Structure 1
Amino acid sequence: MNLDELVFHPWAVQGPRDVPTLVGGSGSYVIDANGRSYLDFSSQLVFTNLGHQHPRIVAAIKEQADRLCTLAPGHASDVRGEAARLIVEVAPEGLGHVLFTTGGTEAIEHAVRMARLYTGRPKVLAAYRSYHGSTAASIHLTGDPRRWASDTGAGAAVHFFGPFLYRSAFGSRTPEEECERALAHLEQVILLEGPSTIAGLVLESVTGSSGVIVPPPGYLRGVRDLCDRHGIVYIADEVMVGFGRTGAWFGVDHDGVAPDLMVFAKGVNSGYVPLGGVVVGDAIYEMFTKRPYPAGMTYSGHPLACAAAVGAINAMREEDTVAAAARLGTDLLGPGLRELADKHGSVGDVRGIGGLWSLELVRDRSTKEPLVPAGATGAANAPMVSFARACLDRGLLPLMLGNRVHVAPPLNVSDADAAAGLAILDEALAAADKYLA
């Protein structure tokens, strides 16, 4: 019996699956039950920033397991405190305390709750092209089609268009135009919704799985200014891009912005043990020195997860991972993916920064018609299935969503492995080219 068939899988039609069973890994590779290695160009769901089985993180988990495996959050913990210290040290100025959760979606829930308690207002703004999680508040805030099946219209979520020059909602021709028009649009949404009704604005500092959209320079500063002007709590969603993925510690760093609340997960400990959290701004923290915060979690600041974070952050500092991620984008992935776009008509756009990139696949470059429609399944999704199979057959583990191929290897991937992955993508794109209009 295939034991995988007993598992109820998220985001999937249930039933037998034709996927490799992965049982091991090392560095940028995972190994299946037959001993075959696959180059992981996905970092799983963009979280193994330091690759698989990094010795520093594994050792930290083992050491903590020998001392104390678990602890209720009401007790003081040395490793929890050390993890918080390391996170605050690299966070933007004014974010001085950490609420630990077990993942990003849970952290979004708590950030939204804090914003509402702090302002006494109900609504939260979020971009259309976004993903913030799949629990009650976070799925309503999510802006892409993953929201549709669960959206009751009762989440007090208000969506707006963020900047996206390739498919501009504003008819822009330059990044500067897109930035200016997107900010003007956002201000109109705020004014028409009523600033006195809006608690917070949650924004991915770089849009992740909804398209890998890097905001133009000045956009995040403009968002910060609008939030300040109208008393809105700025919540930066750094779940996917935080802890080095963009070539800076956090995506907001590229625009020199400090949010009021910053949500993290994934890369904080390379996903070795589930961990997320909210880095809390000083003004919001002060409110809760006078009243209790009305929420909690059994596994908040779990010792094994925090130990993994301590190991990961220290390793990132010692290995200069943030600088490596910046170089990965400027010297390897960016140029390499643009070369692929020149060779393959199915590549409509190349976008990215640091160690997070996307190829948007289209049937026709002039019309920008997606290679597959949103939510495609069965025969309608055949082009992407064909592309995925071509990758797996050649030993590459891809990450795809809709008509996009996201390229996100571990940030410490070697130059040789990065080149090998790009060569496989080159061959696999030939399968997508067969579906050109």
Structure 2
Amino acid sequence: MLRVQSRGICSSAIRQAGVAGKGKSQGFSKTTTGNRPAPKRITPTTLYKNWPNTVHTAKLNHNAQAVVDVPLFNPSNLNSCIDNVTYFNGKQTKALRHLGSFKKGQFNELFVKPISLVRQGSTQKLLKQLASKDSPRVIITGEPGVGKTSLLAQMHACAVEDNQIVVNISYPELFLNGRNDFFFDKELKAYVQPMYLKNLIRKISKANDKTLLESVKLSKNYKYIKTTLKGTEDITFKKGENTLYDLLSASINANLRGSQFKDIINELYSQKNTPVLFTVDNFSRMLTGAFTAYKNSNNEPIHLLELQIGKTVMDLASGDIKLNNDKSRVLLAISGVDRTNRTLPVALGKIPADPYIERHIYEPKFVEILQKGKVAEFEVPKLSKEDAKSLIQYYIDAKVVSHKDIESKTLEQLTEEKYFLSGNGNPRELIKSLVLTHK
């Protein structure tokens, strides 16, 4: 009886209870002092993209001003292009787009076509160095924004015109960031990334001329397996009958993708008739990150040399994969977006080695690889005032320069001012000073 009465008293008290009075607010004032809206959250599922990705993919160059009488990049008659802003022809542009030679941050969206300034101190000098048999492996260096990627694109165009097979890895970060599927292949004794290799093989097939790839006959017999809903199918390639194009176009099981890539590399470098240009942009990402974002079964970071693609790049840099054709070259380029360490300066003999430094600052394995391959350095110089003047004249013709600058200054005055603002000839800072610093 008492329990029932107490329960009723509690229920009645709860019903009659009011909301507690709100006392005086304490702390900082909550009155708004501005009407700025909250920023939008950009996630992979939203329809918004950050600005660099937007301008890179929005095809804004369709609204750009066309400039007439611009010469085409012609490697066979390079003297006619020296000190001139040039366009790539249709064949070159198609190949370079498939290779990933044009990148974000190059301001290509300002112009109808990607432009290229041909310089005697960079383009012609590097071609001369690559033509020498003493430098089959070269690394392009220079300060951020000086034009290393643009120079690499010019070398791609030269290789395309010379009927060379071009293999380009534009972003090593894509196979180091831990976002690809991977597994350990016991036969290859390396970690294989099937999806990344599929995209890379497709890039090689699309970027190079089909007739050129079909001219390379296979030196061995190959057999793969393809599993579909209808069952299992054997795919065989015969020595002397099938071609490199057939090997690149083969659709096989993902677990055999590592073997397919190994066979492609073997076929590329075992033949002697067709030269091969193998290039890696942002190579500094590999030199400064020996351990990848991938983990093994013991939850330990996987070393770059344990990845099949990483080991292949380093074998080409060290010379373990022989260049049987006299014109085949390995061309590497560092990037200013990557952090720096002592690995490359030690490998090039600029500073002495220190074995007591931590691994993320100095990687002795990579130094040994680069020195074994006798990798030579090519440092990209800054623009001269005449080079800057040629670029500024093109920018004026393309109508990307402020009317205020054009009307108030002569070309010589504008060149002097912007050359100083660009840090005495940095191409990226030069165009930034023209299009991003309006008063």
TM-score, normalization by structure 1: 0.25
**Greater relative contact order structure (CA < 8 Å, 6+ sep):** 1
TM-score, with length taken from structure 2: 0.24
